[in-house]
Each structure stands twice: as C-alpha cells, then as structure tokens.
C-alpha cells in the first residue's frame, strides 16, 4: 500500500481490516527489523503517537488535533520518512495502520501498554494496561514496550499502577525486549486535573522509583522529561535515558535549545517526541524533524 494518506488510503485501510484481518500478523512477521536500538545517528529517535488511546487529543491550542486519523497518519508518515528518524511508538491500532502502509520496515517499534488512565477522568492515576502486553509485543516482533507511571502521593490507586508496571518490566525482560518506563510525580490541581511535577526533586524521585521496578533492570530504559537541572536528574540513575519531547511549545527555539543541552550527556541515548514534532507551531513537520535529527547527531 502506498504511504500517502488521503480518503482513498483510509478506505483501503478499512477494507483490509474487513476483508483480511489476518494480514496484520502476516505483515508483522514479514517486517524487516533493525538489529538494535542505537539508531542511525548512534542515538534513537522515535515518533510517538499513543496519546489518542488515552483520550488526549489536544496539540497546542487545538483540542481535537489528534482526533482526525487521516491527518494524524499523514503527519506520522511524513516524520517517519525523514532521514534520521528511527521508529515509532504507539498503540496497536496505529501500528497496524502503519504496517498496512508499509512504512515500518527497518524501524524500531515500541508498543504502548497502559492507556487505561484516561485523560480527565476520576480514575486517571489507576492506569490499567489496556494496550499491548509483553506477549503481544513479542508476537508482533516489536522492539519494546512503553509504560506510563504517574505517582500521586495522595491517590491510593498509584500502587496498583506501580505493581502492574513492575510485572510488565519482568514480562518484557523474559521475552527479551526493552521496557521503556515514563515516570512522573503527579498531583491534582484545584480543578481536579492531573498535573506532573517537573521540579528537579520530583523528576529525580520518579526516576529512582522507576529504575527499581521488577526483578531485573537489564532491559529497562527510562523516558524522562527535560528540566532545567538535567545533570542532577541524570545523576540519579545508571539506566539508559531517552528524552521526552513534551507538549507543543509556542517557543520552539527555546524548546530545541533545552533538548540540545540535555542531549550532550552520554547517558541520554535518544528522544521520543510526539506532538512537538507532529504538530509544530508553524505546521512544518519536516523542518521540526530535521532540526531534532541534527541535534541528536551532533
């Protein structure tokens, strides 16, 4: 199937799902896979689009930006086609679409695992594993699984998510694939919305908790936000770290400068960037991707 995304391609995706549902397993088995996680630049750059499965569709000032699947796929494909982009992180529905479109050959692919903590809900911290599990990731020939761990000291549901993440770390390791853990210390604001604490102390604390999950850390990587004192954050762990691209920023130059500074550390083995690349303020996906690749390759 051609990689362009328009009404015809969407119709073809739907038709394939109706007429040949077995094609996904076949395509996953036939997909050419990379040999490791070093990336084409020596570091890994993944495009992430697992937000929709958690009901988080906003990008910048547009509440439903990620709600149009054809436009989202178009942006993902444009990003994946740029030199230096090593792969994709997402839920099975998007991975399956991209498999059908033939754009995941030789790419590193991570499956998103716990999407049950829907954005804006009373149960958001109780982040159940409703996406991939370790067996499905291994069966599909993916290179790893990503999980979100938000630690709210005031929400007893936190410990259930921690326990589930610990089991997932062990299950992924048993299948010989990488566990990518994205931790935060979180709290609810005065309106009941979950907010992540991006202070150095909070990020250090969350990193140390995430690093200790499970019975082995042999295949665990951390996905950490970029904060002012990244030196202090990185001093907290010996695990490989990839940087979280974060929300779309109105000041893209300042955001890129912060990324570039953090990438100078040898502990940082790459970046996982979603909306900041797919929905840049000026709409130029290719330019945003190319600028990020240039930073990573330095």
- Predicted local distance difference test score (pLDDT) of residue 38: 85
Number of CB atoms found within 10 A of residue 203's CB: 24
Q: Are 256 and 291 in contact (CB under 8 A)?
A: yes
pLDDT digits (tens, 9 = 90+) for 96-111: 999 999 999 999 999 9
Q: Are 225 and 197 in contact (CB under 8 A)?
A: no
- Predicted local distance difference test score (pLDDT) of residue 177: 98
* Top CATH class, 7-297: alpha beta
State the average pLDDT over residues 87-94. Answer: 98
Which among 75, 97, 76 has a CA at the least distance from the CA of 87? 76
CA pair distance 271, 75, nearest whole angstrom: 18
- Predicted local distance difference test score (pLDDT) of residue 32: 96
- Predicted local distance difference test score (pLDDT) of residue 102: 93
CA pair distance 205, 66, nearest whole angstrom: 31
pLDDT digits (tens, 9 = 90+) for 151-163: 999 999 999 999 9
Angle 92-101/7-19 helices, nearest 10 degrees? Answer: 110
- Predicted local distance difference test score (pLDDT) of residue 91: 98
Residue 164 has pLDDT above 90, yes or no: yes
pTM of the model: 0.94
pLDDT digits (tens, 9 = 90+) for 31-75: 999 988 988 888 999 999 999 999 999 998 899 999 999 999 999
Q: Are 221 and 233 in contact (CB under 8 A)?
A: no
Domain boundaries, the chain: 7-297
- Predicted local distance difference test score (pLDDT) of residue 2: 47
Per DSSP bridges, beta strands 194-197 and 178-188 are antiparallel
3 state DSSP class of 93: helix
Give the angle subtended at the CA of 15 by the CAs of 10 and 17, to the nearest 5°. Answer: 100
3 state DSSP class of 220: strand
- Each as own residue / partner, the long-range contacts of residues 228-231 (CB below 8 Å, 24 or more positions apart, any chain) are 228/200, 229/200, 230/261, 230/262, 230/265, 231/265
State the average pLDDT over residues 198-208. Answer: 97
Contacts of 67 (CB under 8 A, 6+ apart): 52, 57
Q: Which two tokens stand for residue 173?
A: 């390791």
State the average pLDDT over residues 284-298. Answer: 90
pLDDT digits (tens, 9 = 90+) for 230-287: 999 999 999 999 999 866 666 777 778 888 888 888 899 999 999 999 999 899 999 9
């Amino acid at each position: 199937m051609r990689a362009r995304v328009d009404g015809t391609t969407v119709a073809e995706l739907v038709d394939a799902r109706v007429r040949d549902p077995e094609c996904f397993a076949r395509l996953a088995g036939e997909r050419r896979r990379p040999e490791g996680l070093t990336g084409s630049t020596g570091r890994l750059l993944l495009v992430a689009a697992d937000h929709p499965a958690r009901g988080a569709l906003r990008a910048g000032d547009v509440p439903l930006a990620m709600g149009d699947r054809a436009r989202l796929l178009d942006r993902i494909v444009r990003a994946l086609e740029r030199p230096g982009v090593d792969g994709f992180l997402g839920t099975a529905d998007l991975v399956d679409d991209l498999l059908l479109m033939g754009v995941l050959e030789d790419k590193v692919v991570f499956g998103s695992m716990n999407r049950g903590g829907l954005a804006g809900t009373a149960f958001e911290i109780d982040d159940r594993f409703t996406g991939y599990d370790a067996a499905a990731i291994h069966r599909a020939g993916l290179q790893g699984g990503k999980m979100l761990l938000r630690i709210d000291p005031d929400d007893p549901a936190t410990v259930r998510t921690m326990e589930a993440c610990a089991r997932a770390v062990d299950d992924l390791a048993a299948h010989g694939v990488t566990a990518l853990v994205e931790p935060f210390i979180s709290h609810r604001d005065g309106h009941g919305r979950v907010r992540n604490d991006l202070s150095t102390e909070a990020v250090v604390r969350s990193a140390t908790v995430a690093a200790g999950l499970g019975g082995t850390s042999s295949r665990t990587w951390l996905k950490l936000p970029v904060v002012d004192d990244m030196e202090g954050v990185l001093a907290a762990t010996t695990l490989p770290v990839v940087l979280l691209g974060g929300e779309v920023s109105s000041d893209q130059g300042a955001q890129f400068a912060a990324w570039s500074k953090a990438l100078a550390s040898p502990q940082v083995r790459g970046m996982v960037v979603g909306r900041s690349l797919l929905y840049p303020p000026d709409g130029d996906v290719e330019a945003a991707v190319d600028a990020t690749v240039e930073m990573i390759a330095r």
